[in-house]
Structure 1
Amino acid sequence: MILTHNQGAEKPEKISKENAEHYIWGERCDGWHLVKGQELSVIHERMPGNTAEVRHYHEKSRQFFFVLSGVAILEVAGVRHEVGQQEGVEVPPGVAHQMKNEGTSDVEFLVISQPTTRGDRVQVD
């Protein structure tokens, strides 16, 4: 069981895309908060084909990107990583990165951040 997205929840509850807090980022990408705490964030994200996030870094947050389905490109410090299903890449604090879906099919992945990235994102041109 995983704690709900409700910070400070005392009683564990099952969480999934169907009951998690949902948001849209970029123009057409989806995110679902599976764990939404100050010390830990777990987000299930979906990127349709030919989409990308803005290149950025986090001053404090360490992240781990884990692909559930599809193939993503995760650029980390100028190095392109092709990340397939059931593969992941860790991104340390202070390192610029950008997740991309250069294919035509959706990519679904988990983004695990410790601590949360809220208020800790610096965009890189």
Structure 2
Amino acid sequence: RFNIGPGDIRAQADTAQWLMHSTARILTYLGSEHAGFAQELVERISYGAAKELLPIIKIKGIGRVRARKLYDAGYKDIEAIRKAEFKALADIIGPKIAANTLRQLGIDVEQEQDKENKLAEKGTGQQNIISF
């Protein structure tokens, strides 16, 4: 419809990031109060994400899509993710990513998973009439 390919968009984003990075460096050199804002824009362009997602995106393995899912689920910062239960995070971003995320934040994931496994084992009694 617009005759624009993914490479065209990527090239424009790279140029915008380079220009904003240069602007941030110049503002820092000049001692401008806007240097921090310019650096924030560099990060936003780099990740393609909104301002509120930047703290979450800095976690390895969490991109803008997963960050948005976590944010929309109420996990608005790293501290909220650190306090979250493993199962709640696993339901949102998957068990492997949730485990890696919690490990990065200093949470013992194996202990959390052991709790979940014990709860699951308790519920393995009769499932239906044929289970006798």
Instruction: Give me the TM-score of the superposition, normalised by structure 1.
Output: 0.26
Larger radius of gyration: 2
Q: Which has the higher helix share?
A: 2
Instruction: Give me the TM-score of the superposition, normalised by structure 2.
Output: 0.25
Query: Which of 1 and 2 has higher RCO (CA within 8 Å, sep 6+)?
Result: 1
